[in-house]
């Protein structure tokens, strides 16, 4: 009884950010233990420990990079284990814990609400329990519907209902969580001419990447009574997220096509080119699934897709990267400053200086991390800088796309990618706040002095 009490006292002394990071570390250890069970793998298959850890961290961070082929390595039980880890990583450790706690009839205290707020990247802990309930309700509803639709549709591809619905189940989980894993051995390439499957996956990837608060606001708007809708207003977060998300998808689709219109897309019909380009643009948000071998695209497209993966998904979603709102604020800040403006105004609202400072910090820190990672990995690996850049941004953005070099990487490189996946999932701000001092400094200021810039 002494150990639990001392452990609880130790936990209570930690800041919410450090508690969250500790729980994610515990979740990573737990996931690795699950992936180490012999029942997870097919008979006669042996997997090195570093690859088990890599797969567990990749699933928990809903990245999808893998050093093993899931279809040839995992058993049916292993597929369900992997799906469970993906679900845990997508919703968040605290959200899953809170949901279980509520099912058991336990009370959620102030400390727990503060942890949920930190895990979900919110600025106010009011309504956190209601937020978790709504997230789980929306998530489970969409997953059940998608599972039934895809599973039934897959009956035309597979000989038995059990196989069809297994693919429907895992395909749904992988797309919704933006996990990017597949059990076909070729991602969605077998369905490259089936636009219904592609369309469903596009919707599911967007669902998982656009952010849970956005989905909840949309749900409240759609299911509210007609006379109440005039009183409902979308938040600035939802407006900025949705607009940025849409622009990135449209611009991403156009640029992907233009960069390879004289190479990969030569001889393809307009609808083939459209869906290839559209799907790759959507999946770079954080999906990781693919309808084509991306290594066949030009080097210019690899760099462009690396940029899209660097941006990643939206805050409070299943994705990683610097996030869409961070990118939007950084761009708007540059435009505003170039025009001589002193404050950022969006949709007749002014952005808090603290949020702008966070956006600039995240962007600069992410550029530094990616640059150092690429520089370090190039000293260990024989691959080109473009291939390494693609792998690094895929890990940081928790996307999971690869040019086919993941399984050939050294142990040290796998560790670097795991760290990037972890930071990409929890967020740079959360990671940086781990080093924040709890002791308050004195309320005084030094004399200010100007420094020449630019």
Mean pLDDT of the chain: 85
Lowest mean per-residue pLDDT among 171-175, 187-191, 225-229, 268-272: 225-229
pLDDT digits (tens, 9 = 90+) for 399-428: 999 999 998 999 999 999 999 998 888 888
- pTM for the complete prediction? 0.89
Tokens 């928790």 belong to which residue?
A: 398
Lowest mean pLDDT among 167-181, 215-229, 333-347, 437-451: 437-451
| pLDDT value at residue 225 | 66
Per-residue pLDDT reduced to its tens digit, 23-79 = 788 889 999 999 999 999 999 899 999 999 999 999 998 898 999 999 999 999 999
Write out pLDDT tens, residues 118-134: 555 555 555 566 777 78
Task: Please name which of 188, 190, 429 lies closest in space to residue 320, comparing C-alpha atoms.
Answer: 429
109-113, 228-232, 429-433, 435-439: lowest mean pLDDT where? 109-113
The confidence score (pLDDT) of residue 1 equals 36
Helix (H) or strand (E) holding 52: helix 49-60
Structure tokens at 4: 């639990």
Q: Mean pLDDT over residues 345-372, rounded?
A: 88
Rounded mean pLDDT of 352-380? 91
**What's residue 118's pLDDT?**
55
* CA distances, 201 to each of 83, 157, 236, 320 (Å): 16, 16, 27, 18
Phi/psi of residue 425, nearest 5 degrees: -75, -50
- Give the mean model confidence (pLDDT) for residues 99-117: 57
pLDDT bucket at 347, cuts 50 / 70 / 90: confident
The answer to whether residue 3 scores a pLDDT higher than 60 is no
Helix (H) or strand (E) holding 346: strand 345-346
State percent of the chain over pLDDT 90: 54
């Amino acid at each position: 009884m002494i150990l639990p009490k001392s452990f609880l006292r130790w936990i209570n002394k930690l800041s919410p950010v450090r508690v969250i990071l500790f729980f994610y570390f515990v979740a990573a250890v737990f996931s690795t233990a699950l992936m180490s069970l012999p029942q997870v793998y097919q008979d006669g298959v042996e997997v090195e420990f570093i690859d088990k850890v890599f797969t567990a961290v990749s699933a928990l961070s809903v990245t999808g990079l893998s050093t093993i082929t899931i279809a040839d390595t995992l058993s049916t039980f292993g597929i369900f284990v992997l799906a469970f880890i993906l679900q845990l990583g997508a919703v968040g450790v605290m959200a899953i814990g809170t949901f279980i706690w509520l099912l058991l009839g336990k009370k959620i205290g102030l400390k727990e609400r503060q942890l949920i707020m930190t895990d979900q990247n919110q600025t106010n802990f009011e309504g956190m329990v209601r937020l978790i309930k709504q997230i789980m309700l929306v998530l489970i509803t969409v997953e059940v519907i998608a599972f039934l639709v895809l599973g039934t549709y897959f009956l035309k591809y597979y000989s038995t209902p059990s196989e069809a619905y297994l693919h429907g189940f895992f395909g749904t989980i992988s797309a919704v969580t933006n996990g990017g894993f597949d059990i076909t051995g070729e991602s969605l390439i077998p369905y490259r001419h089936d636009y219904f499957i592609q369309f469903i996956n596009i919707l599911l990837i967007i669902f998982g990447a656009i952010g849970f608060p956005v989905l909840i606001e949309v749900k409240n708007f759609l299911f509210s009574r007609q006379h109440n809708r005039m009183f409902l207003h979308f938040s600035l977060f939802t407006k900025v997220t949705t607009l940025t998300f849409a622009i990135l998808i449209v611009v991403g689709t156009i640029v992907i096509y233009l960069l390879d219109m004289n190479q990969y897309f030569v001889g393809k019909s307009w609808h083939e080119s459209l869906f290839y380009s559209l799907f790759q643009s959507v999946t770079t948000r954080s999906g990781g699934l693919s309808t084509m071998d991306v290594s066949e695209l030009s080097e210019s497209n690899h760099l462009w897709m690396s940029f899209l993966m660097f941006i990643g998904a939206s805050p409070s979603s299943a994705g990683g990267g610097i996030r869409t709102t961070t990118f939007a604020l950084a761009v708007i800040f540059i435009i505003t400053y170039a025009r001589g403006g002193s404050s950022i105004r969006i949709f007749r609202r002014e952005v808090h200086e603290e949020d702008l400072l966070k956006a600039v910090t995240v962007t600069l820190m992410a550029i530094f991390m990616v640059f150092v990672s690429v520089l370090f990995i190039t000293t260990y690996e024989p691959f080109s800088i473009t291939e390494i850049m693609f792998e690094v941004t895929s890990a940081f953005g928790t996307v999971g796309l690869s040019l086919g070099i993941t399984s050939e990487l050294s142990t040290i490189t796998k560790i670097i990618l795991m760290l990037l996946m972890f930071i990409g999932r929890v967020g740079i701000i959360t990671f940086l706040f781990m080093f924040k001092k709890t002791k308050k400094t004195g309320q005084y200021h030094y004399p200010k002095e100007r420094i020449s810039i630019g």
